[in-house]
Amino acid sequence: MWRLLRLIVAALIDAIVPKPDVQALHAAAKNIQRHLREPPRKRAYQNPIW
């Protein structure tokens, strides 16, 4: 039952939300590349000093 509901909701959202056009993807390409290449940042609390 829940699977069917999730599939229906996903299909509705997919139908309603517009797909990005080529110009929008081209404009976002620089940001996307930066996020793909940027190494993960270590926060101070992730590197405790013992």
Range of the domain at 26: 2-38
- Separation of alpha carbons 17 and 21, rounded Å: 12
Q: What backbone phi and psi angles, to 5 degrees, belong to 25?
A: -65, -40
pLDDT of residue 22: 87
Tell me if 43 is assigned to some domain: no
Domain count, the chain: 1
The length of the chain, given as a count of residues: 50
Q: What is the pLDDT of residue 7?
A: 94
Residue 32: inside a domain: yes
**pLDDT value for 24:** 85
Cα 12 from Cα 50, distance rounded (Å): 51
Residue 29 lies in a domain: yes
Average pLDDT over residues 31-45: 73
Predicted confidence at residue 34, as pLDDT, reads 77
- pLDDT tens for 1-36 read 889 999 999 999 989 988 888 888 888 888 888 777
